[in-house]
A and B are shown apart, each in its own frame.
With several copies, the nearest count.
Chain A
């Protein structure tokens, strides 16, 4: 990463942060502006585009039928995939998912799964045989930092936008009926990532900050203010105190965002 931002730039960022400022004029604990547009992919059962500053993520949701996992015969299946498509960054290359896109997909998945956001029990068609499978495809279109938060918010917005066909079971067969129902949901987790630069914590790091930051830590939290997923990343560490501080900041930010988004 050192080739992305010169050491001069690093010093500049550090000095700003020590004075409580950031390169893009935000305060240390400010998130960038978030814009959410839902339903823009008409052919998908659900979709949402999120702009977090210049970071742009499109999520499409497809609902199909398939088999449940053997150990949860009465639950529908939810699966998250992330593609870092090469038009999003000069550093992304075409090819099968690498460790970065796999980690991204799994962190987004964990926030949704562990908070039981999708009510998978209501997605069972026939126990052990046929359930709805919800494919959440995260498509990163422009990488300007903090892909985790942008993707997690876009994934939730797309799921909240998802419509499923009405259906009934007749003689064991699935019959599609008129009209649509929203995807059944039980919770609306919000994901907030904190970066650490020189022992300072910053919210929602963008690309230039990511290039110089030590580590990041992500917290997903639900309506009750409980934590439902954590992921530390980056090749440095946090002190226990920094982790507790970061968790408080992330939970506060989630409350703030929840109000703003009306989730």
Chain B
């Protein structure tokens, strides 16, 4: 994050894209969008456009990675070459490797790993367009994809960032705020269990600012959680209608 930020919030407290400090970007979620995956979801969060797919529980490949006492979750977070300003090489960057790991660790607490020993679930995330906060949007979509695959979950996982722009703690940073702001705090959360499953921070925050950002991010998560549940219901309601 920057040391000093240009003014990104005007005198009335309105941000560069017209939002108030604690306002989310527009968000759209769709479940069951890919026919070959066992479960899938598509998210548009601001200008982020991200697909997630889940395969499994299925036999591990290669077999020696299977665990005798639990299911193995694997995740790949990957950006399309055209998703960012400068074309990105399709080979995984160090950033993508790290994000794949923290996303996996954000989703694992939601799963009953011990229920399916010797199997694996693979979650693949493709960022088609990036606009700040891709890891959070990826988690929100990935949790839906896992649910859509019929894998039992303790709760959905939902993610949202808060951060600091100018002197203000704000919710859900977009690209420009991500680059020019003072701090970014991505949070993944299971609302009904009050459990934080991902937490990272870049930038500089006073302890009280951090507490405020954490709470704001969790409030954001709760709002997205409602949209998430709605998206899941919508798909299965449609299915029900077809069945009748």
Do A and B touch (CB < 8 Å)?
yes
Chain A contacts to B: CB under 8 angstroms? 2, 40-44, 47, 54, 56, 58, 60-62, 64, 81, 83, 85-90, 94, 96-97, 99-100, 102-103, 105-106, 110, 114-116, 135, 137, 139, 141-144, 215, 217, 222, 225-240, 243-244, 247-248, 251
Apart from the given pairs A56-B34, A85-B78, 6 other A-B contacts in the complex at a CB distance below 8 Å:
A43-B84, A64-B87, A87-B124, A103-B101, A139-B80, A251-B207
A222 lies within 8 A of B201 (CB): no
Least CB distance, A114 to chain B, in whole angstroms: 5
Q: Which of B85, B190, B207 has the most chain A CB within a 10 Å cutoff?
A: B207
Q: Please give, as numbers and ranges, the residues of chain A lying within 8 Å of B108 by CB-CB distance.
A: 235-236
The segment out of B15-23, B210-218, B226-234, B236-244 that lies at the interface is B210-218
Least CB distance, B4 to chain A, in whole angstroms: 11
Least CB distance, A214 to chain B, in whole angstroms: 9
* Interface secondary structure of A, over-half rule: mixed
Within 8 Å of chain A (Cβ to Cβ): is B204?
Answer: yes
Within 8 Å of chain A (Cβ to Cβ): is B14?
Answer: no
Q: Please give, as numbers and ranges, the residues of chain B lying within 8 Å of A233 by CB-CB distance.
A: 102, 105
A235 lies within 8 A of B196 (CB): no
Classify chain B's interface size.
35 or more
Distance in angstroms between the alpha carbons of A254 and B129 in the assembled complex = 32
Distance in angstroms between the alpha carbons of A56 and B207 in the assembled complex = 31
Least CB distance, B205 to chain A, in whole angstroms: 5
Q: Please give, as numbers and ranges, the residues of chain A lying within 8 Å of B53 by CB-CB distance.
A: 86-87
* Interface secondary structure of B, over-half rule: mixed
If the complex has contacts A86-B124, A226-B204, are A2 and B85 also in contact, measured as CB distance less than 8 A?
no
Distance in angstroms between the alpha carbons of A87 and B186 in the assembled complex = 25
A225 lies within 8 A of B207 (CB): yes
A87 lies within 8 A of B47 (CB): no
Distance in angstroms between the alpha carbons of A240 and B113 in the assembled complex = 23
Name the residue of chain B whose CB is nearest to the CB of A94.
B76
Chain B contacts to A: CB under 8 angstroms? 1, 3, 34-37, 40, 47, 49, 51-53, 55, 58, 69, 76, 78, 80-87, 90-91, 94-95, 97-98, 100-102, 104-105, 108-109, 113, 122, 124, 126, 128-131, 185, 190, 193-207, 210-211, 214-215, 218
Number of A-B contacts (CB under 8 A): 185
Distance in angstroms between the alpha carbons of A77 and B233 in the assembled complex = 48
A-B contact pairs, 7 of them (CB 8 A): A87-B52, A106-B95, A141-B34, A226-B206, A228-B201, A232-B102, A232-B199
Closest 5 pairs between A and B when the two form their complex, measured CB to CB: A60-B82, A87-B53, A230-B201, A237-B195, A235-B108
If the complex has contacts A85-B124, A240-B196, are A106 and B94 also in contact, measured as CB distance less than 8 A?
yes
If the complex has contacts A96-B91, A114-B204, A227-B205, are A235 and B98 also in contact, measured as CB distance less than 8 A?
no
Name the residue of chain A whose CB is nearest to the CB of B201.
A230
Q: Please give, as numbers and ranges, the residues of chain B lying within 8 Å of A47 by CB-CB distance.
A: 82
Least CB distance, B146 to chain A, in whole angstroms: 13
A87 lies within 8 A of B126 (CB): yes
Name the residue of chain B whose CB is nearest to the CB of A85.
B126
If the complex has contacts A94-B124, A233-B102, are A41 and B35 also in contact, measured as CB distance less than 8 A?
no
Distance in angstroms between the alpha carbons of A142 and B97 in the assembled complex = 24
Distance in angstroms between the alpha carbons of A223 and B123 in the assembled complex = 41
If the complex has contacts A43-B83, A115-B204, are A143 and B36 also in contact, measured as CB distance less than 8 A?
yes
Q: Which of B109, B128, B199 has the most chain A CB within a 10 Å cutoff?
A: B199
Residue from A60, A88, A226 in contact with B80 in the complex, judged by beta carbons closer than 8 Å: A60
B196 lies within 8 A of A243 (CB): yes
Residue from B3, B47, B49, B196 in contact with A116 in the complex, judged by beta carbons closer than 8 Å: B3
B94 lies within 8 A of A105 (CB): yes
Residue from A137, A215, A244 in contact with B81 in the complex, judged by beta carbons closer than 8 Å: A137
Name the residue of chain B whose CB is nearest to the CB of A236.
B109
B196 lies within 8 A of A237 (CB): yes
A247 lies within 8 A of B210 (CB): yes
A62 lies within 8 A of B87 (CB): yes
Residue from A81, A88, A243 in contact with B199 in the complex, judged by beta carbons closer than 8 Å: A243
If the complex has contacts A42-B47, A116-B3, A226-B206, are A238 and B211 also in contact, measured as CB distance less than 8 A?
no
Distance in angstroms between the alpha carbons of A234 and B109 in the assembled complex = 9
B124 lies within 8 A of A137 (CB): no
Distance in angstroms between the alpha carbons of A251 and B84 in the assembled complex = 36
If the complex has contacts A103-B101, A227-B210, A235-B109, are A144 and B202 also in contact, measured as CB distance less than 8 A?
no
